[in-house]
Amino acid sequence: MSNLRTLVFFATPAHDCSYIPGRQATTMFVDPRAQVDKRLYSQLTSLGFRRSGSHYYRPHCEHCNACVPVRLKVEDFMPDRSQRRVLKKNSDLTCRMVTASFTERYYDLYSRYIEQRHSDGDMYPPSREQFTSFLVEGATDSWFLEILDQDQLVGLAAVDKLDEGLSAIYTVFEPSYEHRSLGTFAILWQIEEANRLELSYLYLGYWIAECRKMNYKTRFQPIEALRDGHWQVMDQH
């Protein structure tokens, strides 16, 4: 089994940045041949890495530090008025955690979400292979949060369990349920789940000040950012 001292890392060639137009990006990733168990995955996450299928990566751009890893200390979180409204609005929904896997039911929801909400993004057009390689392959204590309106699947969130927290990987929802704010609801549910499991953190991936789609992450307070190798509460002023 690999460990931090034996890992080999690679860097991609510069490519167009997916988040900031006009910029070039470079990504560092762990050697795909490495055997990454839950303990090592947890250590990598605390160092700012993310998982996409079987790949563990983090931005490694020479002249840009815009992508900032962020996490929430769940025991200190108090929902604001807007978040309390989201919880109340969705109190009629049922949530359950199931082992991450491929089903046509999951893929149908994923496909509708990508086609209707992200047709201008890197993940369009969706495919079954894409769903599997992104959300199912490489699973290490990986789960799907099902959000159900009676028997209808209206939301699906990929969640990884780490040694000291949960990692929110990706969330999709029924486009016609946009008014329910299910993306926010999924995060609020994961915060509650981390508390129930007596875990300290919910890792939320990267926050980018110049990317409007990332703004929702700073609405969960107090949020911590990894800067210069240290996690610290992010200054919002």
For 15-46, the pLDDT digits (tens) are 999 889 999 999 999 999 999 999 999 999 99
pLDDT in the model for residue 237: 46
Residues 61 and 111 in one domain: no
Same domain, 58 and 105: no
Domain that holds residue 41: 9-68
Residue 188's SS3 state is: helix
pLDDT beneath 50: ranges in the chain: 237
pLDDT at 175: 96
Tokens of 42: 């947890």
pLDDT of 83 reads: 98
Q: Which amino acid is at 226?
A: L
Q: Does residue 219 lie in a domain region?
A: no
Q: Does one domain contain both 58 and 131?
A: no
What is the DSSP annotation of 61-120?
Answer: -TT----EEEEEEGGG----HHHHHHHHHTTT-EEEEEE----HHHHHHHHHHHHHH-TT
User: Does some domain include residue 211?
Assistant: no
Please return the burial class of 109, using the count of CB atoms within 10 Å of its CB with bins 0-12, 13-18 and 19+: buried
- CATH code, 134: 3.40.630.30
Closest to 157 measured CA to CA, from 193, 209, 208: 193
Residue 214 lies in a domain: no
Number of domains making up the chain: 2
pLDDT value at residue 236: 60
